[in-house]
Amino acid sequence: MIKAGIIGASGYAGSEVLRFLLNHPEVEVVGVSAHSDANKKVSELYPSFYQICDLPFLEDEDEVIARADVIFAGLPAGISEPFAQKTLDQNKKFIDLGADFRLDNPEDYAFWYGKKYENSALHQQQVYGLPETHRNEIKQASLIGNPGCYPTSVQLGLYPIMLPHLYANKHIIVNSASGVTGAGKKLTEDTHFTKTNESFHPYKAGNHRHTPEIEQELTKMSGEAIHITFVPHLLPVNRGIVSTMYIDLKKDIKLEDIYKLYQETYQDEQFVRVLPLGKQADLKFVTYTNYCDISLHMDERNHTLIVVSTIDNMVKGTAGQAIQNMNLMFGLKENTGLNYVGPSF
């Protein structure tokens, strides 16, 4: 059995990792920590765990690391480095659900997050944890930067089309909408019920901190510099992301050919479903699952490809993807513990 520990387990990301790990046939959860809720039982904070998981939240992260083979960290930006180093020093594996190990360029991290890398040698070991594009590196890794939720939906939606000879414009417009859990557990003015209920609005238009992560990875896929205009929106739902991307295609490319390319790219990927032409991706049918649904559409008048990508921001966008990475790191079948079907209505 793999012994797993969660640092920052009282937040939404950490509790979602715990929910999946408790149903994982090859994992035993041996410790969870949370400063703000130290000595409380998990089930006191989250009643759904009552009589299922009554572990206490520990205050000492070192104790969690000592017990575990793999650590999941659900922490704010700028906090994960020392815990990652302690984990690696003990020849264990570390999966960071935050932003500290996603960006290659420390200047990008400083600009967008207002933090700096304190341990540059540690970042030489980080591997970006999107399995569909970094699978081989993940299998050999000990330190994973789990992708952001918006970047996951955008990258999976655009990966097949990133061949340079297919599109005419290297500037891509991305509109995304997320459920309120994407903002984290800490309450803000925008996440009050009275503000989000019966509302739908953009936020951080053109300056969201996931922008450099998306551009970094799309540029790697393409081999050419990709720039995006990214506008996120807040949906009045608990979970889910819908990302809509607009790509100018070269004039001789047909939607049927693009659809075939997507089918071929993802034919062996269990967690990416390319819907038949004419269907629309809908977040309802991916909630609580590790699936990404993609639908393709064409604005024939302007010859613009429209890609719609839907995920559950807390699963494929966070916890499910982290466990998918863990499965790869430990040589398990990639779908172990993740075969959940979404709601039918």
At 260-278, the pLDDT tens digits run: 999 999 999 999 999 999 9
pLDDT band at 196 (very low <50, low <70, confident <90, very high): confident
Would the pTM of this model clear 0.85, i.e. be above it? yes
Question: 15: domain CATH number?
Answer: 3.40.50.720
Say if residue 189 is exposed, middle or buried (CB neighbours under 10 Å; 0-12, 13-18, 19+): exposed
The domain in which residue 158 lies consists of: 150-313
How many CA within 13 A on the CB side of residue 310? 22
Tokens of 120: 């540059």
3-state class (DSSP) for residue 195: helix
Query: Does a structural domain hold residue 337?
Result: no
* Dihedral class, residue 278 (left if φ above 0, else alpha if ψ from -120 to 50, else beta): left
Measured between alpha carbons, how far is 267 from 286 in angstroms, rounded to an integer?
A: 18
Query: Does a structural domain hold residue 319?
Result: no
State residue 266's pLDDT score. 98
Query: Does a structural domain hold residue 137?
Result: no
pLDDT of residue 252 exceeding 70, the answer is yes
Residues 49, 185, single domain; the answer is no
At 274-318, the pLDDT tens digits run: 999 999 999 999 999 999 999 999 999 999 999 999 999 999 999
Residues 306, 190, single domain; the answer is yes
Residues 55, 105, single domain; the answer is yes
Residues 110, 159, single domain; the answer is no
- In this structure, are residues 317 and 152 in contact, taking their beta carbons and an 8 Å threshold? yes
How many structural domains are present in the chain?
A: 2
Residues 254, 193, single domain; the answer is yes
The set of catalytic residues is 149
State residue 235's pLDDT score. 93
Residues 72, 166, single domain; the answer is no
At 128-167, the pLDDT tens digits run: 999 999 999 999 999 999 999 999 999 999 999 998 888 8
